[in-house]
């Protein structure tokens, strides 16, 4: 006889729900964990939906991939444009016979500032407070306040070439940074697939392929897909590795329900809890909170 893996009820008269983690649950546990948002998203109750999907497939959709591709190529084009503007500025500056020392010092200062800002989180963690961190903070703040003033004074004193140089250099740095972030996000999403079937995860990412069982997973947190600004899911493995999944993965919401059932031992939410969740959702939809 089958018992529900969560509430330990004997399931004589009802059909157990077999989930992709290879455990059986009662329909009440599944539905209470899935709540209404699952039905709102798929148009079906969780128990009906999961019956048709014994294998969960998490992968990035073509639309998501094109958005990521664009958010790499667009800043890249802007950064290349910045190189051209910077080059023109430098040539005009040198042709006009303006002081090279100011140019060299200015460019170096901006590059140092950009490098400091990029490495700031790591550096501040390493310094861990105290005098070193204070000195670094003062230096970065001072440099970022001084840089625009010096650039402005340069533009007033030496005119258009400095304007080109400042504009070019800032677009190289800003859009170059955005492009590098875009490239990382695109590489993460390309050729990625995570599946769960019969309690076994298969992970394919580019040429890499790995398999791990449900027992290797120690912690799991999956936010409902589409939640803005959140890493959508994370699986913590026993060997300390953390697999994070971000945005637009189909079947991820169902994986969230399965993992919640698997790891959250506490009793399913009561009818009152569910009613409160429903009220909160309605309030959000109406824009009251
Ligand atoms: Zn149950």
Sequential pLDDT tens for the chain (289 residues): 788 888 888 888 888 999 999 999 988 888 888 877 788 878 888 899 999 999 999 888 888 889 899 999 999 999 999 999 999 999 988 888 888 888 888 888 888 888 888 888 888 777 776 787 888 888 888 888 888 888 888 888 888 888 899 899 999 999 999 999 999 989 888 888 999 999 999 999 888 899 999 889 988 888 766 555 556 788 888 888 888 887 656 688 888 889 888 887 665 556 666 677 677 777 777 776 5
Name the CA radius of gyration of the chain, rounded: 27
Q: Residue 209: inside a domain, yes or no?
A: yes
pLDDT confidence of residue 52:
92
pLDDT confidence of residue 32:
83
- Give 19 Cα–ligand 1 centroid separation in angstroms: 12
How far is 5 from 11, CA to CA, in rounded Å? Answer: 11
- Give 199 Cα–ligand 1 centroid separation in angstroms: 18
pLDDT confidence of residue 200:
94
Residues 219 and 128 in one domain: no
How far is 65 from 61, CA to CA, in rounded Å? Answer: 6
pLDDT confidence of residue 125:
79
- Give 235 Cα–ligand 1 centroid separation in angstroms: 24
- Give 29 Cα–ligand 1 centroid separation in angstroms: 4
Q: Residue 273: inside a domain, yes or no?
A: no
Strand pairing partners for 211? 202
**Vertex 93 angle, CA 88 and 97, to 5°:** 145
How far is 80 from 46, CA to CA, in rounded Å? Answer: 49
Residues 151 and 214 in one domain: no
Given CA atoms 183, 187, 188, 189 in this order, what sign does their dihedral have? Answer: positive
Q: Give the end of a domain, one of 182, 202, 233.
A: 182
pLDDT confidence of residue 84:
95
Q: Residue 72: inside a domain, yes or no?
A: yes
Residues 27 and 90 in one domain: no
Q: Residue 4: inside a domain, yes or no?
A: no
- Give 216 Cα–ligand 1 centroid separation in angstroms: 24
Residues lining ligand 1 (ion), CB within 5 A?
4, 6-7, 26, 29
Q: Give the end of a domain, one of 164, 182, 200.
A: 182
27-42 and 252-263 are packed helices; what angle lies between their axes, rounded to 10 degrees? 160
Sheet order of strands, 56-59 included: 56-59, 192-197, 200-205, 208-213
How far is 6 from 132, CA to CA, in rounded Å? Answer: 52
CATH number at residue 239: 2.30.29
- Give 5 Cα–ligand 1 centroid separation in angstroms: 7
Domain with 136, as residue range(s), is 63-182
C-alpha distances in angstroms, 124 versus 105, 134, 138, 144, 177?
26, 9, 12, 17, 20
Residues 260 and 201 in one domain: yes
Strand pairing partners for 243? 235
Residues 53 and 69 in one domain: no
Residues 140 and 118 in one domain: yes
Q: Residue 24: inside a domain, yes or no?
A: yes
Residues 69 and 52 in one domain: no
Residues 153 and 93 in one domain: yes
Residues 150 and 201 in one domain: no
Residues 72 and 163 in one domain: yes
- Give 85 Cα–ligand 1 centroid separation in angstroms: 65
Beta carbons within 8 Å of 218's beta carbon, 6+ residues apart: 236, 237, 238
Residues 198 and 154 in one domain: no
pLDDT confidence of residue 253:
82
How many domains are contained in the chain?
A: 2
Q: Residue 246: inside a domain, yes or no?
A: yes
pLDDT confidence of residue 33:
84
Beta carbons within 8 Å of 26's beta carbon, 6+ residues apart: 4, 6, 7, 9, 11, 14, 16, 17
| CA 79 from centroid of its chain's CA atoms | 23
Tally of CB atoms within 10 A around 65? 17
Per DSSP bridges, beta strands 233-237 and 217-222 are antiparallel
pLDDT confidence of residue 264:
73
Q: Residue 276: inside a domain, yes or no?
A: no
Q: Which residues of 264-275 are buried (b: 16+ CB within 10 A; e: fewer)?
A: eeeebeeeeeee
* Element housing 172 (H / E): helix 160-189
Residues 22 and 92 in one domain: no
Q: Which residues of 1-20 are buried (b: 16+ CB within 10 A; e: fewer)?
A: eeebbbeeeebeeeebbebb
Q: Residue 270: inside a domain, yes or no?
A: no
- Give 28 Cα–ligand 1 centroid separation in angstroms: 6
Q: Give the end of a domain, one of 159, 182, 205.
A: 182
- Give 270 Cα–ligand 1 centroid separation in angstroms: 13
- Give 9 Cα–ligand 1 centroid separation in angstroms: 6
């Amino acid at each position: 006889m089958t018992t529900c893996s969560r509430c330990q009820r004997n399931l004589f008269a009802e059909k157990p729900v077999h989930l992709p983690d290879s455990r059986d649950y009662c329909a009440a546990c599944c539905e209470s964990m899935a709540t209404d948002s699952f039905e709102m998203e798929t148009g079906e109750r969780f128990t009906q939906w999961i019956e048709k999907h014994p294998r969960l497939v998490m992968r990035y959709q073509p639309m998501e991939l094109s958005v990521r591709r664009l958010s790499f190529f667009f800043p890249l084009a802007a950064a290349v444009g910045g190189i051209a503007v910077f080059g023109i500025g430098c040539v005009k500056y040198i042709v006009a016979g303006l002081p090279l020392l100011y140019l060299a010092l200015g460019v170096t200062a901006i590059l140092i500032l950009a490098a400091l800002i990029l490495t700031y989180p790591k550096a501040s963690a390493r310094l861990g407070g105290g005098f070193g961190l204070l000195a670094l903070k003062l230096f970065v703040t001072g440099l970022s306040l001084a840089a625009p003033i010096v650039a402005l004074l340069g533009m007033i004193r030496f005119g258009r070439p400095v304007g080109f140089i400042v504009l070019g250099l800032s677009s190289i740095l800003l859009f170059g940074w955005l492009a590098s972030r875009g490239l990382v996000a695109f590489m993460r999403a390309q050729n990625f697939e995570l599946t769960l079937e019969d309690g076994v995860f298969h992970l394919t990412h580019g040429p890499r392929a790995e398999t791990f069982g449900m027992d290797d997973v120690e912690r799991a947190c999956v936010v409902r897909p589409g939640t803005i600004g959140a890493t959508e899911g994370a699986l913590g493995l026993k060997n300390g590795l953390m697999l994070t999944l971000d945005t637009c993965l189909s079947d991820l919401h169902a994986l969230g329900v399965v993992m919640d059932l698997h790891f959250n031992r506490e009793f399913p939410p009561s009818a009152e809890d569910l009613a409160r969740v429903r009220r909160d959702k309605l309030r959000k939809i109406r824009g009251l909170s």
